[in-house]
Structure 1
């Protein structure tokens, strides 16, 4: 097995989106939640990735086994008012971390994570945030991510 890594381009976008939907579905099932049937996620994801890849506020690295995408990562860049621990105000929002089940536990996710975190560093981000799945917590903790007990969310 010879794994290669490359940046996501428009050519891989459809497969990338399908893998993102697989990832989200897997997370819903594992957490015991029912997957919503009335959401056109594919169209919304295509629109998001197309726009943000074009303006440079989203980047993804892929793990490839030949022509097959076997792992994905994603980093969105956002900006908020600067604060003491992030004087640039630039944040990376990590998403789309997914490895095909047949390729897990081989260091692929760690390599993808390293690459997108480096993208955030290059963009000038002062921090990277993620809402981790139960499966991802070990990877992120081992990488150096810390829990933020004050994180809250309000659904609209």
Structure 2
């Protein structure tokens, strides 16, 4: 393996590997913040929206042949939720003059935490959104993600919300950043 991390835009042939990273990330990195029931329910709230890959707005960071982390941004109205989540997604395009780009589906492989992967992906997403004309970005943060987003300049936009899955409430915080 190489000593350096590299980044690139995700491809459709990455989907299977991305799903594995996400599953591991949800299962292991949420445990310090959520109950076991909330972690299990999170798998139905979070996940990869393959539209991001098709749009060319989803990045991954690799360490050799391994995906160390992934995340993307979107010009669509959907704030969060993946292909298999219970959350309704909205494919409408957001006008950069009046709306915010969305930071979406951020995950770090548990073997690569605390190595700048999340910050790197956020920077890639923000730069791409800014280049597309957006002056503001927003996201829906998990409890485990809030410290990272705050350290990157994101502020709460709304009160704590809860996605309800099979009677279990999963806490989420909508956050935003203005460029």
Same fold (TM over 0.5): yes
Shift of 1:89: 2.7
Give the structure 2 partner of residue 106 of structure 1.
115
Unaligned runs of 5+ in 1: none
Check if 1:76 corresponds to 2:78: no
Structure-2-length-normalised TM-score? 0.64
Is the CA contact 2:99–2:134 (under 8 Å) kept in the aligned structure 1? yes
Is the CA contact 2:101–2:134 (under 8 Å) kept in the aligned structure 1? yes
Give the structure 1 partner of residue 16 of structure 2.
14
Is the CA contact 2:74–2:103 (under 8 Å) kept in the aligned structure 1? yes
| Separation of aligned partners in 2, 1:144 and 1:98 | 18
Structure-1-length-normalised TM-score? 0.72
Instruction: Identify, as 1 or 2, the structure richer in helix.
Output: 1
Q: Secondary structure at the match of 2:134?
A: coil
Unaligned runs of 5+ in 2: 78-91, 165-179
Instruction: Identify, as 1 or 2, the structure richer in strand.
Output: 2
CA root-mean-square deviation? 3.4
Deviations 1:15-49 (A, max 9, x none): 1122223334446644115224xx6x88xx5xx41
